[in-house]
Amino acid sequence: VKSANPAVPFLDVGAMHAELRSRLDAAYGRVMDSNCLILGPELEAFEREFAQYCGAKHCIGVGNGLDALFLALKAMLIGPGHEVLVPSNTYIATWLAVSYAGATPVPVEPDPRTYNLDPQRIEAAITARTRAIIPVHLYGQPADMDPILQIARRRGLRVLEDAAQAHGARYKGRRVGALADAAGFSFYPAKNLGALGDGGAVVTNDADVAMAVRVLRNYGSPFKYDHAVKGHNSRLDELQAAFLREKLAVLDDWNARRSHIARRLLDGLAPSGLQLPYVPAWAEPVWHLFVVRSAARDALRSALTGRGIATMVHYPVPPHRQPAYRELGLGEGALPIAEAIHREVLSLPMFPQLKAEHLHHIVGACVDAARQLH
């Protein structure tokens, strides 16, 4: 019997896997039969296919998205004594990558409409120690790259895209990942292109950065037992690479389904009075998350929970207010735009297998709740 109010999960990994089961089983079989589990043909093929997908020359598979960002920074020789500009409104991994490299993250506030790095606020944050900028394509929405790249060129800074949430997104027609000096991707299972475990990649057009990341991910070793530098162990394994090849083949289709769902949500929620995602004319987002904003966020969330709709908050506490970054001495009110965003955003369910009846229920429940709250 169909319930009038279907429970809506935030993300249904089971439904994703059910759709691809035979392909994923075949990928597993290929790796089992190959007897090659690390740095083998599946990884080489995935690196070639994902570089081509992004329109870039090189892709280097690594252990996760945090390592992708950190190793890219190290490959660019960014380290102790250097500062790297990061968005105040991002997942903490962006900041941690800078800290891992031994450099200091310097937050820059976002544009409150797009939630992405505000190019107009960058210059004021640059000092003699600044070496790089990391724009994040947050929630799958591309950051405004041209003005960021112009400032970086003028001031001699590197630009590293954090594309962990934006596989396939386009900026002025060009795919993210190939817009700057390098990009870091995450293949955490919930991402648009997710593995069946942890995974990540650096994508770049810069042959020197590519070679340096290749060496750094494998004990600093360009050839077996030849250790040029003190490297790391951070490799994308054969099994994850094989799964990712199957999922890359459906990425555009799954992103198109996310876009269709986003369109339905944008239309359906227009009368709600909630602040809806803003998509600039030059952006083709991939809707990793569908984030609405309300001054009554917690009450909205409770109302949706009460109607069986799972939601999440990305993210409840900004990096500068986390105990991990106490040393920066950035108290309450230091970065008011990020703090307000973190107090007010709510992520609604968004995944390619979301059903029409789920969408209908989400829209109805949000409109009802918003009417009572605003």
Q: Looking at residue 324, what DSSP letter applies?
A: G
Q: Which stretch binds ligand PLP (CB under 6 A): 36-44, 89-97, 169-177, 247-255?
A: 89-97
Q: Does 71 bind ligand PLP (CB under 6 A)?
A: no
Going across the sheet that includes 170-171, the strands are 174-175, 170-171, 283-284
Residue nearest to ligand PLP (CB): 65
Q: Does 50 bind ligand PLP (CB under 6 A)?
A: no
Q: Looking at residue 308, what DSSP letter applies?
A: T
Q: Which stretch binds ligand PLP (CB under 6 A): 10-18, 87-95, 119-127, 328-336?
A: 87-95
Minimum CB–partner distance for residue 343 and ligand PLP (Å): 19
Among residues 94, 205, 272, 311, the one that binds ligand PLP under rule CB under 6 A: 94
Total residues at interface with ligand PLP (CB under 6 A): 15
Pairing status of strand 58-62 against strand 200-204: antiparallel
Among residues 66, 203, 212, 216, the one that binds ligand PLP under rule CB under 6 A: 66
Among residues 110, 119, 168, 200, the one that binds ligand PLP under rule CB under 6 A: 200
Among residues 16, 43, 117, 136, the one that binds ligand PLP under rule CB under 6 A: 136
Distances (CA, A) of 357 to 258, 302, 354: 15, 21, 8
Among residues 8, 53, 59, 90, the one that binds ligand PLP under rule CB under 6 A: 90
* Three-state secondary structure string covering 92-121: HHHHHHHHHCCCEEEEECECCCCCCECHHH
Closest by CA position to 213, among listed 71, 35, 341, 363 = 71
Q: Does 164 bind ligand PLP (CB under 6 A)?
A: yes
Q: Does 345 bind ligand PLP (CB under 6 A)?
A: no
**94 or 130: CB nearest ligand PLP:** 94
* Phi, psi for 285 (deg, rounded to 5): -75, 165
Q: Does 76 bind ligand PLP (CB under 6 A)?
A: no
**136 or 274: CB nearest ligand PLP:** 136
Q: Which two tokens stand for residue 223?
A: 């050839």
Is the torsion defined by CA of 115, 117, 122, 126 positive or negative?
A: positive
Each residue 143-162 as x (binds ligand PLP by CB under 6 A) or -, in order, gives -------------------x
Q: Does 165 bind ligand PLP (CB under 6 A)?
A: yes
Q: Does 65 bind ligand PLP (CB under 6 A)?
A: yes
Q: Which residues contact 343 (CB under 8 A, 6 or more apart)?
A: 297
Q: Which stretch binds ligand PLP (CB under 6 A): 30-38, 91-99, 238-246, 271-279?
A: 91-99
Q: Does 311 bind ligand PLP (CB under 6 A)?
A: no
Q: Which residues contact 3 (CB under 8 A, 6 or more apart)?
A: none
Among residues 188, 243, 287, 325, the one that binds ligand PLP under rule CB under 6 A: 188
**Spatial contact of 281 and 355, defined as CB atoms under 8 Å apart:** no
Q: Does 134 bind ligand PLP (CB under 6 A)?
A: no
Pairing status of strand 174-175 against strand 170-171: antiparallel
Distances (CA, A) of 8 to 12, 109, 275, 304: 9, 33, 22, 10
* Phi, psi for 298 (deg, rounded to 5): -65, -40
Q: Does 91 bind ligand PLP (CB under 6 A)?
A: yes
**90 or 240: CB nearest ligand PLP:** 90
**Spatial contact of 291 and 266, defined as CB atoms under 8 Å apart:** no
Binding residues (CB under 6 A) for ligand PLP: these are: 64-66, 90-91, 93-94, 136, 162, 164-165, 186, 188, 198, 200
